[in-house]
A and B are shown apart, each in its own frame.
Chain A
Amino acid sequence: MSERREFDVLVVGGGPAGIAAACCAADAALHVAIADDNPSLGGQIWRGESASPSTKEATFWYQRVKGLGVEHLAGTRVFAQSEAHTLIAETDSGVCDIAFQNLILATGARERFLPFPGWTLPNVMGAGGLQALAKSGWNVRGRKVVVAGTGPLLLAVAAHLKQYGADLRLIAEQASWQQLVPFTIGLWRQPSKLKDALSLRRQLLGVPYLTSCWPVAAEGKHKLESVTLRRGARTWSVPCDYLACGFHLVPNTELAALLSCAVENGRVRVDDLQQTTVPGIYCAGEPTGIGGLELSLLEGQIAGYAAAGRLDSARCLFADRDKMRRFPLALERAFALRPELKESPQPETLVCRCEDVSLSRLREHASWRAAKLLTRCGMGPCQGRVCGPALQFLLDWKPESVRPPVFPVRVESLIAASSTDSETLHNAALRS
């Protein structure tokens, strides 16, 4: 079943950046829609909050997006482009051609996973992953949880899980305190962030927060039973039910790359008005560089105003955004991955989880492309989203170019993606 919709502005991605962008575009009385894979708006940080937002900020934006009549295309996964200014998306019931004058990509980020022995055991999850499940109806009360990896997300996740009643054993941050201190000091310049940090610290009193500490193995027979941590010369095991482990975030740039927007060093290049190198396509939030909630909201607003032609309104926000511009770099420095993490995976540790390809098999190849074709690493349904960032860190392999579909879709969706054409060709084929 094929549908065609048209909008002045299409926003792909319903997290904070996408919501802010849609609001600002709709504010200019334009016909705006947000297309998002998830059942509800909110992305990762506001997941599950559309009915009851947890912060004043979230409340403000949720009310605004509803009040401005932005159309929410839920469960809608964009997978290809059919022609200029038209994207194709799959829904549970069929396919939707979405035409637009201007496009705003707010596709967010995903966690970086690094392999270590036992990382594929059930109950080893991403930090954001475990939080997402807790926000989606699952009960963590009383479960022993170790949070590990790197990044400010660890603290947010830990605090959240603790609120939900999890028994938080400890937080292991691989960065050293020397790396973190400049970052923490820098927070003085951002009073709201400082307030967040202090609040987190309060919530997590009593939970050990160990820097220079990282997981080297997860153990268990059919599921996780304990995690082995290393800190300096010491390694020890912590019994736990869940390991929430993620190594910061990587931008979701696949759709931007498919649309020929310049992507450099894993980030979508944008100008001051958040426009990509393709006129009429804007990008806001984490895909331009991992910078957190506030920067995402500012970039989203600027992109929304710019896409609506309200350049003065966009420019009014430049100063606030530019104040935050140092944040992504500061984050990267503070949470830079230590080289010892490359030693955690053993030769038989799986790196590609879709096709079960071990590190030793991958090391036989000189490039991502050869490894892909000869081991099938990266050819599974995740399309390299999990193993790619890991291999970039472990072996310095650069990702390959992107082809449609940027997401696995039903065969019938690929057929519907070009419905009139296929009919003509099909009839022609029958005749010959």
Chain B
Amino acid sequence: MSSNANTYDVVIIGAGIVGAACARECARAGLRVAAVEADYVGGATSAGMGHIVVMDDSEPQFALTRYSQQLWHELAPELPPDVEYMACGTLWIAADEQEMQEVRRKQQYYGARRVPTEILDPRALYEAEPHLRPGLVGALLVPEDLVIYAPCAARFLMRQARAHSCDLYLDRVTEIRDDGVVLQKGGTLSAGTVINAAGTWAPELTPGLEMRPRKGHLIITDRYPGFVRHQLVELGYLKSAHVLTAESFAFNVQPRVTGQLLIGSSRQFGVEGKGIDNHIVAGMLDRACEYLPELAKMSAIRCWTGFRAATADKLPVIGKCPSRKNLYLATGHEGLGITTSLATGRLLLDHLLHRTPAIPLEPYSPSRDMEVAHA
């Protein structure tokens, strides 16, 4: 029992889904944990799509997304209904023969790594998703991909953390010190370990952390139950997500348990304002209607934006920060924060307890050279 109420083993900055996952792991392992959150449900967690997806842009990205997805599968029975866990799978849609080759390549890649997939020919595709426009060539079904409602998932993770005596401070960290953090409302929290999981705000507290906010827009429609059954993504998504140009968008539509359709996706660099950019929304919806023409007449209820924390090499930073003692980083997840939150928490805990992690941690090391492009 510690003598000082403000002394912890670990202080986690940020209680978005990544911070909450870290808090849960550490608290359940018996560590005394404090999580500090400046703006409850104010970050990328609430703005994102909640798509839990394996990605194959690089080996480390695959390893992290797949490991984390499996952790979500394990957690599924415990998740309350408001997390809206939906095992709908993803359909990567091919509009032409070139994209169909990509479908085959992906199948081989995933097959070699024991991720179940299925190639759909046009007949099977239209049976699966009758509202797609005619003329598509096929798709890759990834049945183990799923969808959750992230704000409630983050809340669940934090609740579990607090059930194991994690304290939650609604406050802002103004400074990270070697022995803890300084709080804006006054006072300090002492800890041997500090984890910066503050997303796009992380560089403010850890100067030199190379991350840029990447703005995204989403639209949600009224309820049209059964219109779309899987998360539908165009193969061009990969080009959009991983190209570093100023603006891009790609077809990405998600059915929610409510029957509402969540329509994305867009990426912009160098735009700081949270406001809605009409031309981005228009471009994104235009692309969506190319794949699902009936979307055009549907009622769009809300539009919002969010900022993804993006690193130069498209992988998050998870691990010890080289520039300070006792500081760890868990951020830079770009569009995969919700997917990889659970793995981030688990890997970081393994690292803190000197346990062998399930996948190598080196590729996500904050000390790595981010100029090295990944194949």
Contact = CB atoms under 8 A, between A and B. Distances in A.
Interface string A417-432: 1110110011001001
Contacts of A417: 278, 281-282
Q: In this complex, which of A370, A373, A411 has the most chain B Cβ atoms within 10 angstroms of its Cβ? A: A411
Contacts of A369: 40-42
B127 interface: no
A66 interface: no
B287 A429 contact: yes
A411 B276 contact: no
Interface in B280-300: 280-283, 285-289, 295-300
Nearest to B239: A432
B46 interface: yes
Interface string A396-426: 0000000111001111111111110110011
Contact of B298 (A375, A410, A422): A410
B151 A374 contact: yes
A380 interface: yes
Nearest to B294: A411
Tier of interface size on chain B: 35 or more
Interface stretch (B85-93, B139-147, B160-168, B243-251): B243-251
B283 A411 contact: no
Contacts, number: 112
B248 A429 contact: yes
Given A411-B219, A414-B281, A403 B302 contact: yes
A403 B276 contact: yes
Contact of A409 (B152, B279, B287, B299): B299
A381 B303 contact: no
A410 B297 contact: yes
Nearest to A376: B258
A82 interface: yes
Interface in A363-391: 366-367, 369-370, 373-375, 379-381, 383
Given A379-B302, A414-B219, A415-B289, A421 B282 contact: yes
For chain A, give the interface size range. Answer: 20 to 34
Given A404-B303, A418-B281, A411 B247 contact: no
A373 B304 CA distance: 12
B40 A370 contact: yes
Interface string B302-318: 11100000000000000
Interface in B7-41: 40-41
A414 B151 contact: no
B285 A415 contact: yes
B155 interface: yes
Nearest to B295: A411
A80 interface: yes
Contact of B303 (A366, A374, A403): A403
B296 A374 contact: no
A309 to B, nearest CB: 31
B285 A411 contact: yes
A432 B222 contact: no
Given A403-B276, A410-B296, A411-B221, A383 B301 contact: yes
Contacts of A381: 222, 299, 301
A276 to B, nearest CB: 19
Nearest to A423: B286
Nearest to A428: B247
A422 B279 contact: yes
Given A417-B278, A418-B278, A429-B287, A373 B41 contact: yes
Interface of B: 40-42, 46, 82, 151-152, 155, 219-222, 239, 243, 245, 247-249, 263, 275-276, 278-283, 285-289, 295-304
28 contacts: A80-B278, A367-B40, A369-B40, A369-B41, A373-B41, A373-B46, A379-B220, A381-B222, A404-B278, A408-B301, A409-B300, A410-B296, A411-B221, A411-B295, A411-B296, A412-B289, A414-B219, A414-B281, A415-B282, A415-B285, A417-B281, A418-B282, A422-B279, A422-B282, A425-B249, A426-B286, A429-B248, A432-B248
Given A82-B278, A373-B151, A421-B283, 5 more contacts: A366-B40, A381-B299, A404-B276, A412-B296, A419-B282
Q: Top 9 closest A-B pairs, CB basis?
A: A421-B279, A422-B282, A418-B282, A412-B296, A425-B283, A418-B278, A373-B151, A373-B41, A418-B279
